[in-house]
Amino acid sequence: MAGSDLREIGAVADVRRGSTGFATIGAADGALGDLAAALVEALERRGFVRASEETEAGIVLNLVDREQPRPFRRRARGTFVAALWSLQEAPEDPLRETYPMLVRALANISLCYVPGHGVFFTTMERGNYLVPEGEGLAAEVVARLEPLATSHLVIDNEFRRDLEPELWEGDAVTRELADVGRRLGELDLLPAPFPVEDLVSADDLRRIKRLYAIGGLSYGNLSARLDATRFWMSASGVDKAKLDEPGRDILLVSGYDAEAGRIVLSVPPDVEPRRVSVDAIEHWMIYRENPTVGAILHLHAWIEGIEATDVNYPCGTEELAESVAALVRAAPDPAHAVVGLRNHGITATGDSLREILERIRPNLLRQVPMS
């Protein structure tokens, strides 16, 4: 991708990033109440202002009760909600303890405060890390929160019924995607998130899928180039080990409408398509900038010694896509690169999906380091 393309994307993101206004809802006593007040002061010091209406805020701090969390119901998907709550003791398994709250509160991130210990961050992508207790705790929490809360999602899709008839049943590329997806499942490299459907009501589950474009079946995604400008990619909300139907489970990404913030997909006329993976914007940037990249594989796994992004931006944001594309660009061989996504996983490029998996499998670590 040319530098002008990246500048155009950045300019559009600046326009659409939304208000720097914030709001707090709910109430808390004691140490959690004190932290909430300190977070408000830290936000104001960084230039954020209180929104006149909760629904107009770009960032919402939702103080929730552990037993009965009350979700904040957005009017706009761009509103970033942080669920702020407390435990008296540090959990033995922070992710298992905090992820359900993230889902039950319909939040973008969970901030679990353990007095004397610190604040556990938990993201929708299962990133989980501790900001330790200290004199500047609130300032550090806001510093870690700000880039996540102000990042810009690109998860809208535009479906065009213009897929060539000869591709309606797929091709050799879609068959490779399906085959490698099955292989990843056999190798247990598609970790499922917690059973979201067991944690929330059916209505809230639909809301979660609409807000975050997740389906709760498996993590990771894979894509492969069709031609100079288009690539096939796994859908969102589908088990990547069961990519059965082209146009539904495997989608052809044919463009990106930067002004509207939508991934453009070419689909058959008689198929009800799923949404494409939220990481499509990342793959789109990498393919555009690196014509020799034939395929891209993203896994929630790790390889020691790789370069990684500095900020754990949410999946599907322009900021994460730009960060990963920059690391691929800087790699000694961008066409065969492996880069890390902080607190998240890896993205690897290669000639084909089979070539990537064969190359990286011996060095894969299932545990992603958190920081």
Q: pLDDT, tens digit, for every residue of 180-210? A: 999 999 999 998 766 666 666 777 667 666 6
User: Per-residue confidence of the chain (371 residues) as pLDDT tens digits?
Assistant: 333 333 333 333 333 334 479 999 999 999 999 999 999 999 999 999 999 999 889 999 999 999 999 999 888 778 999 999 999 999 999 988 998 898 889 899 999 999 999 999 999 888 899 999 999 999 999 999 999 999 998 989 999 999 999 999 999 999 999 999 999 999 999 987 666 666 667 776 676 666 655 555 578 999 999 999 999 999 998 899 999 999 999 999 999 999 999 999 999 999 999 999 999 999 999 999 999 999 999 999 999 999 999 999 999 999 999 999 999 999 999 999 999 999 999 999 999 999 999 999 999 999 999 99
pLDDT of res. 349:
98
Structure tokens at 196: 């979201």
Domains in the chain, please, with CATH? 18-149 (3.40.50.10300), 156-363 (3.40.225.10)
Structure tokens at 67: 């037993």
- Whether 259 and 200 have beta carbons less than 8 Å apart is answered as no
| Whole-prediction pTM | 0.89
pLDDT of res. 218:
72
Q: Where does 78-209 show beta strands of DSSP type E?
A: 80-86, 109-114, 118-123, 128-132, 156-160
Q: At what angle do helices 172-186 and 353-360 cross, to 10 degrees?
A: 30
* Strand ordering across the sheet containing 128-132: 49-50, 21-25, 59-63, 80-86, 109-114, 118-123, 128-132
118-123 and 345-350: which strand pairing?
unpaired
Q: What is the DSSP string of 295-352?
A: EEEEES-B-TT--B-SS-PPTTBHHHHHHHHHHHHHSSSGGG-EEEETTTEEEEEESS
pLDDT of res. 213:
54
3-state secondary structure of 193: coil
H/E run at residue 281: helix 280-289
The neighbour count for residue 150, using CB atoms within 10 Å, is: 19
d(CA 54, CA 199): 26
Which CA distances in Å does 331 have to 46, 64, 321, 339? Answer: 34, 43, 16, 8
Structure tokens at 197: 């459907």
- Whether 370 and 302 have beta carbons less than 8 Å apart is answered as no
d(CA 255, CA 265): 7
d(CA 211, CA 353): 30
Angle (CA) 20 22 26, round 5°: 170
pLDDT of res. 3:
37
pLDDT of res. 202:
75
d(CA 260, CA 67): 40
**Residue whose entry in the numeric block shows the structure tokens 């559009």:** 12
**Residue whose entry in the numeric block shows the structure tokens 């049943």:** 169
pLDDT of res. 224:
98
Angle (CA) 228 261 271, round 5°: 65
Q: What is the DSSP string of 38-60?
A: HHHHHHHHTT-EE-SSGGG-SEE
